Amino acid sequence: MRKFTIISVIISIIAISSSFAQQLSRQSISCMGSTEMSSEMTLRQTVGQSGNTNIFSNESQVLRQGFQQALNMLRITSPLIPSLDISVYPNPFTDHLYFVLNGDQDKYEFNIIDITGKLVAKDFIYGNLKTYVECKNWQPGSYFVIVLSGSEIIAKEKIIKIK
């Protein structure tokens, strides 16, 4: 009986350990990144990748090829106005936000408030135009975007500032 118990325990240990033996997990971890824009180009970069294939440099700049993360974008829609489609990116953000009203709608006002209800930004979004919001001096945390049509609130979404 004792021999049977020992064999059962050994078989159980082998079965449990072998069930985890062939698991693969593919991951890509990006430590940080930034986006620089001018009227002529946009340069997106991420730092902390596992490898680079080429390095291009001059006296003041270095460009390394590597993995580029997708742009994290928030879509704001409203059941009150089915045609409303606003893109907010990046989310989470560090020092700036972009608002784009997709389509040819007139314009909508947006307010951004912090967690205490304090208004930190207020502007308008116009059809098919990009609206830039400077956020460098904001504290890290949660903020809320409130979209208005006249004085009526038509949509609310949460955005997050990091760093």
157, 95 Cβ separation under 8 angstroms: no
Domain extent for 50: 32-64
Q: What is the pLDDT of residue 138?
A: 93
Query: Which candidate, 147, 144, 160, places its Cα nearest to that of 100?
Result: 147
Assess whether 60 and 78 both reside in one domain: no
Assess whether 53 and 101 both reside in one domain: no
Phi, psi of 148 (to 5 degrees): -120, 145
Q: What is the pLDDT of residue 80?
A: 78
pTM for this structure? 0.55
Q: What is the pLDDT of residue 111?
A: 95
Ranges of the chain with pLDDT below 50: 26, 28, 30, 50-52, 69
Assess whether 41 and 99 both reside in one domain: no
Does residue 20 lie within any of the structural domains? no
Helix (H, G, I), strand (E, B) or coil at 9: helix
Does residue 3 lie within any of the structural domains? no
Does residue 7 lie within any of the structural domains? no
Assess whether 52 and 123 both reside in one domain: no
Q: Please tell me the total count of domains within the chain.
A: 2
Q: What is the pLDDT of residue 84?
A: 80
Assess whether 99 and 121 both reside in one domain: yes
Q: What is the pLDDT of residue 52?
A: 45
Assess whether 113 and 86 both reside in one domain: yes
Assess whether 134 and 83 both reside in one domain: yes
Q: What is the pLDDT of residue 17?
A: 59
Q: What is the pLDDT of residue 40?
A: 61
